[in-house]
Amino acid sequence: MARQMDSGEPHITNTAVDCTAEYLIQIGILEGDLNLTLRVEPPPPDDNAPLATAERRLARSLLHRWRAEADAWGMTDPEPLPVRWTPSRRVASAGEYVPAGSGTDTIAGTFLRLRPRRRLVVLGTAGSGKTVLSILLTLELLARRLTQGEDDVPVPLVLSLESWDTRRQSLSDWLVDRLRQDHPGLPPVDGVHPARRLVLERRVLPVLDGLDELPGHRRAEVLDALNAGLDGVQDAVLMSRTAEYERLDQEGKGLRHATVIESLPLRPDEVASYLRRARPPARAAAWARLLETLQKEPSAPVAWALTSPLMVWLVRRSYEQHPADPRELVDRVRFPTRDAVEAHLLDRIVPAAFPPRPPNPGRLHPPRTWDAERAGAWLSYLALLLSRREESELAWWRLHSAPLPRLLALPALLAAGILLSLVIKAGMSGYAEDSLLGDLSVTGEVSGGVLFAAIARSVTASWFGQRIAEPRRSVNPLLFIHALRSFDRNSRVGPQVRLAALVGGPALVVLLLALYVFVSPDPVLVWLSVGGVLPALLTIVYAAPADTVDAATPDELLRGEQSALVTMLTLVAPLIGAGAGSFFWLGGSDGWWPAFGGWAGASSMFVLLSPWSRWILAKCSLAATRRVPWSLMAFLKDARTAGLLQLSGGTYRFRNRRLQEHLAGRRAQERGEGGGSSGPEPDRMPALADSGHFTVERTADRYHLRGRSRRLPLAHWAVFGSLLGVFIVRFTVSGQWQDFTAWLALLFLPVIGAVITVAGLLMPRQRLELELTRDGVTSVIGRRRRSYEWRHVEEITVRRAIVRGRDARFYALQVRLLAGAPRPPRRSRMGEGWFLVLPLGLSSRVDPRLGAVLADFAGPCWTSPSGGR
């Protein structure tokens, strides 16, 4: 702008504010002063830029992961299998209508067009392609987000519902924990992990699988928590088998405001077209007969079998290489039914997954080869273990509960302790020679270390309950705040106790040391503070169990357990040794040999009773008897690469439940245990009826079971077992095993436990009654009477009994009460909100007649142990 000055000469001023100009051109004749002012104001900062960066990195990580999973299963080679779907007509709560279609682009596009809530439920039968559809949908959404720049596409997060403890975590907290555990390397936002902001700002899409694999009593509970967690806004995708979800929907437990679709069987002509493109070109003649049958004879047994995506994957994988001949599937004499074709394909999958490979002497590290026959036997054994436990997740830290490792646990603990005692004695031989007590001095120091380590371990067991048997989190002693978070998240004690331990524990250590310095110079105070209280606190903090189902891989969990064990040996055990050493040193003794003895005893305790040692025992014993390979983790990893297994958090699962059941049935048939069936044994009367005389009165409105049964005390064995493990460690590593009379003391706890059990059996039969009416259920056990009204009962089922936080090793009929219902006495509590009705015995199976009565009187509150209503 130009402004006339008093002197008559123009004064020219140019002002540029927040512009992008690089050149300024002034046209005209300049006389006098020229003033140029340039003010460039930076654009307002984008607060979401770091979060967008974290979101893109998360999407890329998931895309690489699920591409590898799809490649392992051959989903996209040469193109995705045409899984078809249609809107469900059998689910009453289905939301808006969705036109039938097929292909991932169609379903991904349809999902993104859902308004106002993008909620999708995918149903189907076993092997119908639900998991395949969810993975391909995930890949399509990630591709749209990364390559097509569609910023409104959320990042899909595929999770198994088995890992969600709805009583302890809300949906958002669970998603946050999963992101933190599975993706710890995401760039921080405002100095913290971006998981919470990603969840709260709706940037992740939970894709939830495994609803039908949950126990029956948990399905409705999970759907209630899911409906509450979505809060009318959050998007979600849910997969389930049709029958299980339909049953829940009829009870009003379906996912609200959701569009429900069902996977349709594949058409034979579509399968033929897909196999024609997927087959090796050089084997076109071998595949011609099968493809012709699929196109011209849609009612043939092989055509019916190949309506399942699982079977299509099996036939492609089994017959893609010579000399396998797919023409044999057309033989109706050999395969007269669909079941015969499917059983044959399931039998062939393991040899196809582990084909023989010629040796390659030119490579320094050739790829590992597995014998197909042995691999099938190993997988069958693992499948049988899971089926016996009615589980689907294969966890390495639970492998020690197999029959053989349990049988060898006591002898192995004795042998390992004796070997360690010989090493410790050799290391402290000079100390024993100089001491007046000789070998007794070594025994005392080592026993003291074992005792203080046992105290620290018992405190940890009280803090974390049954989870002390799980692998521990990977720890870094320098990252104390991270350890405190896990210490707080996994504890089963109340917040007041946690706060008291966090504040009062260090204060007690300081108080004991202050008493030693200013009041009484008693070395016991130093021993208790340094070797007792402080190690117990650090054990709780650094021995917190990992979020096992949230770990990225089983290998990471194993490394985390090893890391935690190393921390215990290098941080906690030295403190126990230092406490013992300081006690003797301050008391006037020379040398720090007691510190070494205390460290050795504590280290032995931490090692011998750790999840890692149980894993080593299980792997070595099972591998020595050829039940599993020596390189078990490598084998499981290769089986996953071959498409037989899939990752589920920190555990492995068989790719399909039917594959697990088939392999388990084959193992049982080989052992002559079930005629080829891996299912449960036929229903029988509860154990209480096997050990007594019962009478039943039944009318239209009343059922009364009464009689007397013998007691079978088993709960004390859980406590005695823990004490016996500690006693064996002290008995062996301290060298007491060399004294014959000490072996008699070793039998004390087993004998006392057996006496309690036998005494319970010899006592007079106790009175047992169970009365069911239209109003409620009443039970009588001895002189104790329990009554629950149906209007107060949320659920009634058969569960494992938990007494004072410990597994009581028997099953009982239990109820869970509604909020606000009157609570029974404390002795009736079974943990996790359940209350005792009547003990049943060692089996969870219920007599069909009693199950029918419970279904009649309890109605929808009754859930059978098998998962049905």
The secondary structure of 519-543 as a DSSP string is I---HHHHHHIIIIIHHHHHHHHHT
* Mean pLDDT of all residues in 108-114: 77
Single out the residue in 264, 299, 333 at which a domain terminates.
264
Residue 710 structure tokens: 């013998």
Higher pLDDT, 415 or 128: 415
- Cα distance between residue 116 and residue 107, in whole Å: 17
Average pLDDT over residues 858-862: 84
Q: Compute the C-alpha angle 204/207/212, nearest 5°.
A: 155
Residue 119 domain flag = yes
Q: Are residues 243 and 328 in the same domain?
A: no
- Residue 734 is predicted with a pLDDT of 85
- Residue 430: per-residue pLDDT: 67
Strands (DSSP E) contained in 233-307 are 236-241, 259-264
Judge whether 649 lies within some domain. Answer: yes
| Statement to judge: residues 82 and 199 lie in one domain | yes
- Span 478-504, average pLDDT: 66
What's the mean pLDDT in 119-143? 79
**What pLDDT does 446 receive?**
86
3-state secondary structure of 124: strand
Averaged pLDDT, 809-820: 82
The token pair that represents 230 in the structure block:
């979505």
What's the rounded mean pLDDT across residues 661-668? 77
For residues 421 and 54, which has the higher predicted lDDT (pLDDT)? 421
Positive or negative, the CA dihedral 625, 630, 633, 634 is negative
Is the pLDDT confidence value at 385 over 70?
Answer: yes
800: domain CATH number? Answer: 2.30.29
Q: What pLDDT, on a 0 to 100 scale, did the predictor assign at position 695? A: 85
Helices (H), 183-240: 195-200, 216-230
Q: How many residues does the chain have?
A: 869
Task: Quote the number of domains for the chain.
Answer: 7
- Which range among 61-65, 329-333, 446-450, 550-554 shows the weakest confidence by mean pLDDT? 550-554
Q: Stretch 739-751: mean pLDDT, rounded?
A: 83
Q: Which domain holds residue 9?
A: 2-39
Beta bridge partners of 160: 209
User: What does the pLDDT look like over 65-104, one tens digit per residue?
Assistant: 777 667 666 666 666 666 777 777 656 555 554 544 444 4
What number of other Cβ atoms are within 10 A of residue 562's Cβ?
A: 16
Mean pLDDT along residues 232-240: 79
Element (H, E) at 404: helix 403-427
More confident residue, 549 or 568: 568
Q: Classify burial at 763, counting beta carbons within 10 Å of its beta carbon; exposed 0-12, middle 13-18, buried 19 or more.
A: exposed
CB of 594 closer than 8 Å to CB of 445: yes
DSSP state of 549: G
346 Cβ neighbours under 8 A, 6+ residues apart: 314, 658, 659, 662, 663
Inform me whether the pLDDT recorded for 264 exceeds 60.
yes
Count Cβ atoms within 10 A of the Cβ of residue 422 and give its class: 0-12 exposed, 13-18 middle, 19 or more buried. exposed
Q: Is the pLDDT of residue 431 over 70?
A: no
Band of residue 629 on the pLDDT scale cut at 50, 70, 90: very high
Distance CA 258, CA 238 (A): 9
Residue scoring higher pLDDT (414 or 246): 414
Instruction: Please spell the DSSP secondary structure of 43-104, one letter per residue.
Output: PPP-TTHHHHHHHHHHHHHHHHHHHHHHHHHTTTSSS----EEEE-SS-TTB-S----EESH
505's tokens: 């524990």
What is the radius of gyration, based on Cα positions, of the chain?
Answer: 33
Q: Which residue has the tokens 């014998």?
A: 371
| Position 365 in a domain | no
The pLDDT value given to residue 117: 77
- Between 483 and 215, residue with greater pLDDT: 215
DSSP, collapsed to helix, strand or coil, labels residue 770 as strand
Structure letter (DSSP) for residue 365: S
Q: What is the pLDDT of residue 548?
A: 44
The pLDDT score that the predictor gives to residue 210 is 76
User: What is the distance between the alpha carbons of residues 671 and 105, in angstroms, rounded to a whole number?
Assistant: 48
Summarize pLDDT for 523-545 with one digit per residue, the tens: 888 888 888 888 888 888 777 66
**Looking at the predicted structure, is the pLDDT value of residue 622 above 90?**
yes
pLDDT at 867 over 90: no
Are 810 and 850 in a shared domain?
yes
Residue 389 lies in a domain: no
Does pTM surpass 0.75?
Answer: no
Q: What is the DSSP letter of 119?
A: E
Q: What is the pLDDT of residue 46?
A: 47
Residue with structure tokens 């990992």?
A: 546
pLDDT digits (tens, 9 = 90+) for 552-596: 578 888 888 888 888 889 988 999 988 888 887 777 666 677 888
3-state secondary structure 725-745: HHHHHHHHHCCHHHCHHHHHH
Is the sign of the CA dihedral 786, 789, 793, 798 positive or negative? positive
Average pLDDT score over residue span 132-151: 78
What is the per-residue pLDDT for 106?
59
Residues 235 and 147 in one domain: yes
Nearest to 611 by CA among 457, 437, 811: 457
> At 22, is the secondary structure helix, strand, or coil?
coil
> Would you state the pLDDT for residue 22?
46
By C-alpha distance, which of 46, 45, 47, 58 is closest to 203? 58
- Tell me which residue of 623, 640, 553, 643 sits closest to 378, measured CA to CA: 623
Identify whether residues 596 and 501 lie together within a single domain: yes
- pLDDT tier at 141, thresholds 50, 70, 90: confident
Report which DSSP code applies to 550.
G
Considering the domain boundaries, does residue 623 fall inside one? Answer: no
Provide the sign of the torsion angle of the four alpha carbons 573, 579, 582, 587, taken in this order.
Answer: negative
Q: Which of 107-111, 365-369, 563-567, 657-661 has the lowest mean pLDDT?
A: 365-369
CA distances in angstroms from 78 to 69, 281, 755, listed in the order given = 15, 12, 68
- Which pair of tokens denotes residue 754? 């057996």
Beta strand 236-241 with 34-39 is unpaired
291-327 as b/e: b if 16+ CB within 10 A: bebbeeeeebbbbbbbbbbbbbbbbbbbbbeeebebe
Q: Is residue 375 part of a domain?
A: no
Query: Which two structure tokens, joined as six digits, stand for 820?
Result: 């606000």
What is the mean pLDDT of the segment spanning 137-142?
Answer: 83
Written as six digits, the tokens of 189 are 């936002």
Residue with tokens 């002034």: 26
Q: Which residue has the higher pLDDT, 764 or 38?
A: 764
State the chain's mean pLDDT as an integer: 77
Buried b (16+ CB within 10 A) or exposed e, 374-409: ebbbbbbbbbbbbbeeebbbbbbbbbbebeebeebb
Burial of 508 (0-12, 13-18, 19+ CB in 10 A): middle
According to DSSP, the β-strands at 651-654 and 34-39 are unpaired
Residues 6+ apart with CB under 8 A from 329: 290, 302, 315, 335, 341, 344
Q: What is the average pLDDT across 461-488?
A: 65
Q: Which two tokens stand for residue 351?
A: 């040899």
Q: Render pLDDT for 179-190 as a digit per residue (tens, 0 to 9).
A: 877 776 677 777
Identity of the amino acid at 161: L
> Are 67 and 194 contained in the same domain?
yes
Is residue 624 assigned to a domain?
no
CB 624 within 8 A of CB 374: no
Residue range 478-485: mean pLDDT, rounded = 59
Confidence category of residue 617, pLDDT binned at 50, 70, 90:
very high
581 and 514 co-located in one domain: yes
Among the listed ranges 114-128, 386-400, 517-531, which one has the minimum average pLDDT value? 114-128
Burial class (CB in 10 A: 0-12, 13-18, 19+), 26: exposed
Could you give the C-alpha distances from 523 to 526, 600, 724, in angstroms and in order?
5, 21, 31
Lowest-pLDDT range, 233-242, 336-345, 370-379, 392-401? 233-242
Residue type, 176: V
Question: Is 613 in the same domain as 541?
Answer: yes
Query: Does 105 reside within a domain?
Result: yes
Same domain, 809 and 836: yes
The reported pLDDT for the residue numbered 389 is 77
Q: In the predicted model, what is the mean pLDDT of residues 288-307?
A: 87
pLDDT band at residue 371 using 50, 70 and 90 as cut-offs = confident
DSSP secondary structure letter of residue 822: P
SS3 839: strand
Q: Strand 702-709 to strand 692-698: parallel, antiparallel, or no bridges (unpaired)?
A: antiparallel
Q: Are residues 430 and 546 in the same domain?
A: yes
d(CA 72, CA 375): 18
Percent pLDDT > 70 in the chain is: 75
Rounded Cα distance between 24 and 38, Å, is 10
Nearest residue to 275 (alpha-carbon basis) of 242, 237, 302, 248: 302
Structure tokens at 26: 């002034």
pLDDT digits over 8-53, tens only? 444 444 444 444 444 445 555 445 554 545 444 444 444 567 777 8
pLDDT at position 627 is 92
Strand partners, 394: 652
Examine the pLDDT at 500 and tell me if it is beyond 60. Answer: yes
- Region 701-729: mean pLDDT is 81
Among 416-425, 537-546, 818-827, 845-854, the range scoring the smallest mean pLDDT is 537-546
Same domain? For 82 and 152 the reply is: yes
Residues 131 and 111 in one domain: yes
With a cut of 50, say whether residue 811 has pLDDT above it. yes
User: Using alpha carbons only, what angle is made at residue 137 by residues 549 and 173, rounded to the nearest 5 degrees?
Assistant: 35
